[in-house]
Amino acid sequence: MRGLTREQAIFLRVTRAYVKKERPDICFRFAFDGVPQPVIGNGPRMVDVSFHNAERLFQRIFLEGNMGLGEGYSEGQIEVNDEDYKEFLCICVYATSLRILRHLSIFDMIAAVRARAGGYFAKPRQNATIDNHYSLSDWFENDDDSNTFFHYWLDRVHRMYSCGKWDLETKTLEESETNKLELYAKRMGIDERSRGNTLLDLGCGWGGVLFFMAERFGVRAKGLTLSTAQHRYITREIARRQLQDLVSVELRNVHDMGGKYDYIISIGMLEHITDFDDLYKKIAGALNPGGQALMHSIYSESWFYKADRWFLKYIFPYGACPNFSSNMRCFRRYFNVVEPKKLPHLSYPKTLDAWFANFCHAEPQIRTLLQQNSKVKDVDFAVRTFKHYLAIASVSLTFAGFVGHTLVKDPRVHS
């Protein structure tokens, strides 16, 4: 271990424990500032990772957690093939699992846990920043360029920016998103007899739910969004598909919903909400008699969950996953019937892996878009930031959390 810093030595010991207990099919070959280290593992698949400015990099990782890791990768201090980056990140995420920790000394355990804990802190959530991410207003002056960026790597049929439903036989991202929409229609009782019924989509993205329900079932669907780019895209699609009589979209905060509806749905919006009581009370009051709502979200099962600083800074300002138990109690204050279910295991990691593969495949076009049409000054940093986001989210959601869809009906509150 001569010549290694304490943090580097601990990292290598964690890697050995991880390979032994979790991934004997992989071997890792690291280089610190060009100095190769002994290969770890005997598996047939070799993962090469090079670290630059390694002493400072590992100090940041152990002190700052994912903030140091993510910024180090975005700054080019970690070099690894795209297809291998997730395997490297697994070491960092799984470092605090009991299966790994019990093979380390007490001092190594403390350092590893501190590295994970150092990346978290509590911060209030605000949905005023939604337009910043979903329109990338810091990057693009033109909403069409923002839409182009996202559509390079989202599914090509529904443009859904949320977890798909991956059954055992599901082969593609597009299939997974169609599976989800079909399941949610069935759960809400939407079928061929629903023609003319009304649906409200809270945080409607690029209109995947709106167009699916309108075109397949003849439902009159309205979406609410805070993203000017999404609003522009949906408005154009309504005209292109000649759905003016069935689909509409408004730039409006979901807390300011108006009207009465047979169905209300939200997919991936609860992660941006602070006041669940206000939202659920208004949903209960906006349902027609016999109506029902379905809410899809990533849930945390930990009472000690806190939002990750790197995600808050670079991806979702003020976003966080709601706690499952407290959210169910909140639902039950406003609805007599609350039926939570989960999407199939690993559905979100598989969705994120598909997005990552699409992103890497389209990277030349994405770089050109950023170079020619954006305000981004460091294209390399921006591209690697989104890669880290997709990869670390996949690994983290393999390790903890789940995606649930909760059907609620029979409101206790009436407008």
CATH of the domain at 223: 3.40.50.150
Instruction: Please report which confidence band the pLDDT of residue 118 belongs to, taking 50, 70 and 90 as the band edges.
Output: very low
How large is the average pLDDT for residues 283-303?
91
- 3-state SS assignment for residue 280: helix
CB distance 99 to 12 below 8 Å: no
Question: What is the residue range of 283's domain?
Answer: 127-411
- The Cα 247–Cα 231 span in angstroms is 12
Assigned domain for 216 exists? yes
pLDDT, tens digit, 9 for 90 and up, residues 149-196: 999 999 999 999 999 999 999 999 999 999 999 999 999 999 999 999
The answer to whether residue 197 is domain-embedded is yes
The whole-angstrom distance between residue 274's C-alpha and the CA centroid of its chain comes to 18
Work out the mean pLDDT of the chain and round it to a whole number.
88
Same domain, 143 and 107: no
Q: Are residues 96 and 22 in the same domain?
A: yes
Residues 253 and 134 in one domain: yes
Same structural domain, 251 and 368 = yes
Domain boundary among the residues 57, 91, 117 is at 117
- Domain membership flag for residue 333: yes
- Around 396, how many Cα atoms within 13 Å sit in the side-chain half-sphere? 16
The tokens for 54 are: 């390694």
Residue 100 has pLDDT above 70, yes or no: no
What size, in residues, is the chain?
415
What is residue 310's three-state secondary structure? helix
User: Is the same domain home to 242 and 184?
Assistant: yes
Residue 122 lies in a domain: no
Which residues contact residue 335 at a Cβ distance below 8 angstroms, ignoring those fewer than 6 apart? Answer: 280, 284, 408, 409, 410, 411, 412
C-alpha span between 362 and 149 (Å, rounded)? 10
pLDDT of 116 above 80: no
pLDDT at 334 > cutoff 80: yes
Q: In sequence order, which residues have a C-beta less than 8 Å from that of residue 2 and are 6 or more positions away? A: none
Sign (positive or negative) of CA dihedral 260, 276, 297, 133: positive
187 and 244, same domain (yes or no): yes
Asked if residue 234 and residue 363 are part of one domain, the reply reads yes
Q: Which amino acid is at 342?
A: K
Q: Report pLDDT for 25.
A: 96
Q: Is the pLDDT of residue 130 over 90?
A: no
DSSP result, 88-113: HHHHHHHTTSHHHHTTS-HHHHHHHH
Q: Are strands 26-32 and 45-51 parallel, antiparallel or unpaired?
A: parallel
Same domain, 373 and 346: yes
Q: Chain centroid to CA 280: how far?
A: 23
d(CA 4, CA 54): 10
Of the listed ranges 39-48, 138-147, 314-323, the one predicted with least confidence: 314-323
Sign of CA dihedral 96, 97, 101, 106: positive
Q: In what order do the strands lie in the sheet with 45-51?
A: 35-36, 26-32, 45-51, 78-79
pLDDT of residue 128: 45
CATH number of residue 37's parent domain: 3.30.1050
Mutual orientation of helices 54-64 and 6-21 as an angle, nearest 10°? 70
Counting the structural domains of the chain, the total is 2
| 402-411, strands of its sheet edge to edge | 247-251, 220-225, 198-202, 261-267, 287-299, 402-411, 335-342
* Residue after which a domain boundary falls, among 117, 149, 167: 117
Tokens coding 16 = 């050995």
Query: In this structure, are 134 and 111 located in the same domain?
Result: no
Same domain (yes/no): 97, 134: no
Tell me how far the alpha carbon of residue 357 is from its chain's centroid.
15
List, for residues 51-97, the tens digit of each pLDDT value: 999 999 999 988 888 889 999 999 999 999 999 999 999 998 776 54
Residue 272 domain flag: yes
Q: How many other C-beta atoms lie within 10 A of the C-beta of residue 39?
A: 12
pLDDT category of residue 131 using cuts at 50, 70 and 90: low
Residues 18, 137 within the same domain: no
Q: Which residue has the higher pLDDT, 413 or 10?
A: 10
C-alpha to C-alpha distance for 375 and 370, rounded to whole angstroms: 8
pTM of full prediction above 0.85: yes
Question: What is the pLDDT, as a whole number, of residue 95?
Answer: 62
149 and 36, same structural domain? no
Q: What is the pLDDT of residue 97?
A: 46
Look at residues 233, 337, 239 and name the one whose alpha carbon lies nearest to residue 291: 337
Residue 1 lies in a domain: no
**173 found inside a domain:** yes
Q: Which of 82, 117, 152 is the last residue of a domain?
A: 117
